[in-house]
Amino acid sequence: PEGAHRDDAGRLVVGGVDAVALARDFGTPLYVVDEQVARSRAARTLAAFEAAAASVGTQVTVYYAGKAFLSGAVVRWMTEAGLSIDVCTGGELAVALAAGAEPARLGFHGNNKSVGEIERAVAAGVGTIVIDSEIEIERVADAAARAGIRQRVRLRVNSGVHASTHEFLATAHEDQKFGVSLDHAVELGERIRSRPSLDFVGLHCHIGSQIFDSAGFAESAERLLAAHAELSRTAPVPELNLGGGFGIAYTSADEPEPIERIALGIAQAVAEGCRANGVPVPRLAFEPGRSIIGPAGVTLYTVGTVKPVPLDGGVWRHYVSVDGGMSDNARTALYGADYSARIASRRSEAEPALVRVAGKHCESGDIVVDAEYLPHDVAPGDLLAVAATGAYCWSLSNNYNHVPRPPVVAVRDGVARVIVRGETESDLRARDADLDPAEPGRAG
């Protein structure tokens, strides 16, 4: 993992803390976040986009996309690094506000925000609300009018560019639930402008996640800028938000471009598009989540069983089962995501063997790392570290098979502290209305 090393005894050290000590003190599975890595990736991302924006004569707002992983500590790390925060539900909004994020520096997303959520955002003074559909124009306008304010809003547009990992596709219409179609962007932008309680700041798009080919961002910016320019004929459009989605390395096969180069490439594409359309370069905005917090996380597991299974051709696959799985990391099962695993508790010179790191859930798709080479002496009791689990692992965690969620521990300068408490089996039982001792007569 980024920022980690092995000590003389061959044990993994993260944020100055020995993985064996972490496992002993907090148990496994354990989510570990290297605070320094998270903070420095946030700062570097902001600096990269600021430099890129300056190079084309504009400014930028970088939001941290809280859906990747949000907690009080993370909100503070991000805001201290100078980032704004993007939330997409009332729950995320509540966490950001409770952690002291400045309301004016929050962005609020979502394709189906409830009226209650919109009212809470308006009442809290959220900086911008991203309107995702025609219906939402009236909802947000009415909520702002009732509150007696003028709400800054963006309009999310489906640019027809869909990007994922190593490729991007550009189609006329993309069949998905987010945003309004590019064909209606101008008409709906003008509709927003016609509502006195709304302040239209610009268009938004987000083309996907874990993207390596930044040509998709350029294509999307180009498409959006045509609508942006048309809207600029009636009044200036101050901003353009191009979303998040920058890819990270999960395994050694992934080679993301440095963020500085991505930022510069996008800024140049925007500047070019603006020149072609005869409009000034707007203020830019981005919303990366994964690329900031993903590499800062590592999950520790304890190996429970090792089982060799014969494959065709005299090859063996060793199923290495750990004490977590799809409840703490659903990404492999959900998306076929790739991860890498290492023995964290010792060094081994043993020959590598093909292993599949599996979880403990009752489902054969419960896999953490599909294919990995680990020393063939990997054995029960070994600690395994799975890198780059900082984004969308805790956020997507669940209680499948009544497995409690692990805690999240932040490490920094040799000190570990719990930033999100784990659950216990009794926490889970306490939600069962028929097992709750507080409801006598029901448990029998």
Catalytic machinery residues: 362
Does 290 show up as a binding residue in the annotation? Answer: yes
Q: Is 245 one of the annotated binding-site residues?
A: yes
User: What CA–CA distance (Å, rounded) separates 426 from 435?
Assistant: 10
Q: How far is the CB of 84 from ligand LLP (least distance, A)?
A: 12
- Tallying the residues shown for the chain, one arrives at 444
Strands 128-131, 106-108: pairing kind: parallel
Nearest to ligand LLP of 124, 396 (CB atom): 396
CB of 113 to ligand LLP, least distance (A): 13
Distance (Å, rounded) from C-alpha 382 to C-alpha 341? 12
Beta carbon of residue 235, minimum distance to ligand LLP (angstroms, whole number) = 25
- Own/partner pairs for 311-319, CB < 8 Å, 24+ apart? 315/354, 316/353, 316/354, 317/354, 317/355, 317/356, 318/353, 318/354, 318/355, 318/356, 318/374, 318/376, 318/378, 319/355, 319/356, 319/358
- Quote the tokens at residue 395: 């956020």
Given the complex with ligand LLP, which of 119 and 338 has the nearer CB atom?
338
Spatial distance between the Cα atoms of 358 and 376, rounded to a whole number of angstroms: 16
Q: Which residues of 113-133 are buried (b: 16+ CB within 10 A; e: fewer)?
A: beeebbbbbbebebbbbbbbb
User: What does R_g of the chain's alpha carbons equal in angstroms?
Assistant: 24
In the complex, minimum distance from the CB of residue 155 to ligand LLP, in angstroms, rounded to a whole number:
13
164, two tokens = 């994922």
The angle subtended at Cα 54 by Cα 53 and Cα 55, nearest 5°, is 90
Nearer to ligand LLP, 89 or 209 (CB): 209
Name the minimum Å distance from CB 417 to ligand LLP: 25
Q: Contact, 408 vs 424, CB < 8 A?
A: no
The smaller minimum CB distance to ligand LLP, of residues 240 and 374, is found at 240
Least Cβ distance, residue 373 to ligand LLP (angstroms) = 24
289 is in an annotated binding site: yes
Q: Which C-beta is closer to ligand LLP: that of 19 or that of 369?
A: 369
Give the distance, in angstroms, between the CA of residue 59 and the centroid of all CA atoms in the same chain.
Answer: 24
**227 near 237, Cβ under 8 Å?**
no
What's the rounded Cα separation, in Å, for the pair 324 and 406? 9
Give the span between the Cα atoms of 278 and 226, in whole angstroms.
10
By beta-carbon proximity to ligand LLP, the closer residue of 217 and 301 is 217
Q: Is the CB of residue 27 less than 8 Å from the CB of residue 409?
A: no
Closest to ligand LLP by CB, 177 or 431? 177
H runs (alpha helix) in 125-184: 134-147
Of 84, 138, 95, 130, the residue nearest 109 (C-alpha): 130
Binding site for ligand LLP (CB under 6 A): 65, 67-68, 109, 206, 209-210, 243-246, 287-291, 331, 335, 391-392, 396
**150: annotated binding-site residue?**
no
Using omega within 30 degrees of 0 as the cis cutoff, is the peptide bond preceding 29 cis? yes
Q: Nearest distance from residue 329's CB to ligand LLP, in Å?
A: 9
H or E stretch including 309? strand 297-310
Q: Is 392 annotated as a binding residue?
A: yes
Question: Does 146 appear as a known binding residue?
Answer: no
CA distance 249 to 93: 29
Known binding-site residues equal 245, 287-290, 331, 335, 363, 392
* Known binding-site positions for pyridoxal 5'-phosphate: 245, 287-290, 392
Binding site for substrate, by residue number, is 290, 331, 335, 363, 392
